[in-house]
Structure 1
Amino acid sequence: MVAIIKTGHSIRAMLNYNENKIKQGKAECIGQGNFPVDADRLTYIMKLNRLEKQCKLNENVKRNTVHISLNFDPSEASLPKEKLLEIAGSYMEKIGFGDQPYLIYKHNDAGHPHIHITTINVQENGKRIVMHNIGKDKSEPARKEIEQAFNLVKAEHQKKKEFKPEPVSVRVQYGKTETKNAIENGLNFVVNNYKFTSLPELNAVLKLYNIEADKGNENSRVAKHSGLLYHALNGKGTRVGVPIKASRFHDKPTLKKLEKKFVANEIKRQTDKSRIKNAIDNVLLRNNIIILPQLVKQLKKEGIDTVLRQNAKGLVYGATFVDHKTKSVFNGSGIGKEYSAKELRDKCGANLEKLKGEFQKAYSRDDLLNMIKEDRGLLSIDDITKIVDLLSKTESTFDYLNKDFLKQRRRKRHRRGN
């Protein structure tokens, strides 16, 4: 079980997030704690009034909402409602929220079973429940105890990729609820899991989910207020439809809010730099001759995506590495000067020159044809020109083959003829 706790300052926004899921047929309110009637008899106004009334007992508490999600392993999709309610109740008791009013929602809009619990941190006596280090001090011990008591799959054993939401589909028509939800799922997953320190680094990950964050025009209201616009992308990476403002999402991921993460992530990711560096070094060492598209493919096998930025002529001028194992994002030059896009481009460009002298040792004619067919998006016009030039010299390269090898081929043909 994975527990995530978020705080906020709008009871209405927290409630609306879950209630809208119910309207869309993607959630149901399955239980409550410390409300006057059962969950199935509670109206929206009753839920809102109960929470707001208690929060007014201490209006000095600005971040008064607590939104919790308990996420289970996909193999636990058949957990009955009664067991989910027991788990939720036990968890709330263990983290010190057993006497607080709370609502339990079961969501069915992701690849793994999960519930949301909405509550407040103002008590009946007006005192505030301290949230500092609640995750480490209370939630983690509670999570482990509940896993043991209810025989749940332990968080440490869950495969992280199973919590990865589906990318925004090209076929989804922008403007429909499904599109907004898909963007929000991908956005929440990336922001809460990956360590990025700038907007371009964030976009390097988001684009893998067909999403892009945009500051808007320089003089726009969005830019002036440090907001952000989020676009859906099609399969070619082109923006489609009308962008959605950060303020329309539950967590409101504005630039101002993300900048706080930039600072925190800079410290968190430092120990992860060496893995990307070593991966690149190992690929270059293993391959005497390698070009950029192949470097990208081999890093992908190591769990590292390479997001390249190219100009109109196809020249690569920027590279960002997304390490899915450590969940860290680094611009190439941030790892070291020798890992910048220019340095890697020059190394791989030099390898194309080497091919002229070592063609038959490195790549076949079919290999080069596949490079142009499959990897042309990663090759500059100059690179493609060099490969075409090599292809035009294919026949002449056989002149360099060992004579004994040619004799062996003739003998085989002769035997087949007999």
Structure 2
Amino acid sequence: MIVKIFKSNTSDFPGVKYNDKKVKKGDGELIGMNNFPSHINQDSSAEVVRDYFKSVSSVNKTKNKQFHAMISTRFREHSKEELKELAHSWMKEMGYENQPYILVFHNDTDNNHVHIVSTRVNVENGKKMNDSFEKLKSQRNLAKVMREKFGEEEKLADKVQELLAYKFSNENQMRLVFSRAGFDLVDNENKFSFSKGGVMISEINKDDLKYSEITDDNRIKQIREIFKKYQEKLNTQVFQMEELKNPLYKEPEKGGGEFVSEFQSEMKRMFGIDIVFHSSGNKTPFGFSVIDNFTGQVFKGSEIAKMKTLFSFTDDKIDKRLFDKLNDFNIYSDEHKKILLHFYQGKNPELKDFMIFKNRNRKSKSVFNLVKQEGKAVLEGKTTKVNFMKGTEGKIWVFSEEQNFIGEADKMFSEKELKELDKSSLEKLMDNIYDYLKNIKTIRTGKGNDYDPYEDRLAKKKKKKKKII
């Protein structure tokens, strides 16, 4: 969840006009109007709303009279209703509870988000609203609202204590562990403060920290064997995720970016082993560390393996937004990966197959039912939200870019429904038919002589959960 406040040097309230265009295009929906007089409501035109904002703001000479913000969630993690509720609570924390403001929900990007437009002139006294440290306060207030709405506070405090129990050999390793867990660590003379989203969670006296130089040789050997085994089964090509300029929100381009690989991702997913590359800007990493979340230890990468023999470094880069979207799909096989490449590589020539990682993402039943419903509507010629395409051996796949979902048609539609489809209409829907999904190599998952006990850890957890249910 992120929040962004847009700058405006005009008093014409362009945010109202911008959001009105979105609504008229069908890319937005007006979901709230707070503290307006009774004659101004959701049926009023954008001009009437803008004139009201300009009227109540005219008593103050400040130039930047418009307050325009956006709260965005990751993909579809939060619904329109949840974002509406969060926006109201956030505006209260920002001191705008009694100000007139509109809420417009947007559905034209991969991420659900809501825009908020108000005035920086206090309608009660004509003074300018306090905007000191506004960006910092916006982040802190969003974090506070999130904790209150979703009960995050106690969980975060417990997580800090859990991470403090790890074995660190120095302060840098401690900072690395907290950074990978999404926490900020601030040095306050004799104390360290731990925060998330700009809000302090807890603190600890430096004298209470205990660093350990003791090396767990047995665990190092185990990790070394795991790396050796999966180095041949997983892709070890390393590429860089870039946070590129977003023209929609006029974000500044950021330098550098995280280096990642499928091998690195799978080690964390299967064994809780987090591999962190160390680099300077866009330069090739010069080293790596290993955070073993399974045993709560941090190791120097060189203690386990030589970086150049374990990884293959490339000059390839990918926009982080595209990377996150692709890897939010449910990707169980190489065929899933081929489907994604087919849809996205045309517009994104930098995309390579090794940038799409297999995962165990399971979409909710509601997403499955929604795609199924939209698929039926496509077959009836009522919408084009879902794509149908042929894969290996003529299998038909259902692809939803909006829901980040790939599914097999025969598992979503009955045999009768598929047989009754008019062949000519189905062919028209399959503009993206392709037949090059051949000779797909699969990773062996059976147990052999090189089997190790850590492979069944996730499976055992799943069995326990089923028993509890």
Higher Cα Rg, which structure: 1
Task: Give me the TM-score of the superposition, normalised by structure 1.
Answer: 0.40
Using the size of structure 2 for normalisation, the TM-score is 0.36
